[in-house]
Structure 1
């Protein structure tokens, strides 16, 4: 998987799918995020909700990782407009940072409309 997307756009997607009314911390330690890159779009799934946005997708793929770590990772790139993500079964690379993933799918399908 390889894609480039705006950091703020990705943060908004994560916030949209992770928000629950009345929760103090919207993302818990056990929550996971799945990031799909397919069909010229990027999709984010967390807590059984998903959202998508158009992005520059070079290679399709999907990865799952801890949501809280991903949110922290995005916050470390404050001031960076575009982020490039590369992923495989070994892990996820964001710019020069690497983190392990819980799962990887090289042939994802976009989520179906309900």
Structure 2
């Protein structure tokens, strides 16, 4: 399933583990091998979901001035929602979020990660 493969690659891309690198922790060895082959089918722009998520959130803010925007998502979507919320200073709710601090530091930098941790 190409959508599933793209999402798996995107999850690693958020953490700086480009294109199914051996460091991307996706289960047993055979799964990592398959993941590397699958990610080779996508260019970085295809599996880098964060710019698109930020563009959508900014568009919603532009269309609804004066309204509070809540970023929400599940799993990979939750990780994206949290990153969007930190970047745009929104509130967010994530379901099945898992670990996202590596993506936060990698994509938004140490200063924003520290500010987000401080609350």
Higher relative contact order (CA 8 A, sep 6+): 1
Structures share fold, TM-score greater than 0.5: no
More helix by share: 2
Larger radius of gyration: 2
TM-score w.r.t. structure 1 length? 0.24
More strand by share: 1
